[in-house]
Structure 1
């Protein structure tokens, strides 16, 4: 008798609770189905303020960043398997200051992340080796105190060989920006002096995490600034950038300190969460917004979606 065919991959959400809802900083890595069912806590008692999350479906690993104590320059990156076991520190303390959003670049098998107080965009191999600084917004202590230099969100397009990232600016300050540059350094240039860095949007309330649909050429992001333009999910068509008439669209309003965002291209939907502890979904155009989990018991930072084998 022939063996049964392998089960079709199932879409799952993975998200982080930064842990600030409890005095002892009980950060968590949690997963559920897109309708909120089968809710499981994979890792708990994370004392290092987890923020960015990414899933490697090929090797069945979940990666996350730990902000640590920002004044201590003790950020790190860890990973576990799909069951929350075999936790390994990939980037140890001392190599990245305050790592935020994290991306797995599947083709090159690289990790990319933004480093907030480090004012950097960084990458490394999947095992944490060959750490590189691709961009540095500031080098002096004064530069690093300037919130306009703080890098937070990140998205990577390996087809066009471009990186997008956000620099959030002061809290609710309407000085946030989104940038792009080439995937690789131009020969002879440095992270501090790159001629291919372009600011594509400015004067945003407080842009945070990014998500890129390279097929449609659409960039999505969350913004935790003040209403009416903040605490929103937004998008731009990158084709309009070439035409010189870039116009952001507000897709969803009324988030409560929106941060994490994830894209499900197969089913044309977005997932996003906020520090208020809720997890949401909508169509790609922002319609049919729904609440997946109204109160996770914590404060959601990073959100990821992946189709995984059961």
Structure 2
């Protein structure tokens, strides 16, 4: 027999409707207040940073003119010859681009290992020692706060020119960034397996291996691949401070006003980054599907 629903009395219904309208009005006031604060802060930040949209609009033509200036003339009748002349230095550029990719790969690998080793000590749910957690978190903050190019400048002074400088700079910055991301993933795991192994008398290594790692491994892989994409872009400008790679050749072309070489190197770098983005995206999806 279906249960009969007793309707509310008019007074009770009016009271509930009034409470709902009051709560909705309070929510709208908070939303408008938050929007007003956001607008004010944006205006203050734009003023402090001297953002002038009218100046940008007035000089936008200079930017497009520069883009048109660095692009070489390409004609359909002589397209092959024009491309050969445009990419006259492709063997050297490809070698330097390969050096950039290896720099990004090795720096990401070292950074991922460092972030993996430190992330568990930075996670509050699997590390009880506050002092250790505080020190590790501050170390990770230092690693990701200082830009890679600043680390590269310091290492150039210490170790001289070369790709090793770029690898070390990328590795330190990646350790700080990935350690932070990894620790946040660890802090969001289901603690029931951890509590079960702890009650069974398992040690820290066993708990991390059998209770924590299976839950976070897929996200670790995803973040590591994403960081590699970012580091490829970062390694591209390491040559500006003498850390090797394609960035050094790009800086030479810019300083000497070799406009065609600037556009050729930029297009080469963009195509490489696009290919890496597509490749790592597919690899990340396959790994995530296989690990879950």
Higher relative contact order (CA 8 A, sep 6+): 2
TM-score normalised to the size of structure 2? 0.21
Higher strand share: 1
Higher helix share: 2
Larger radius of gyration: 2
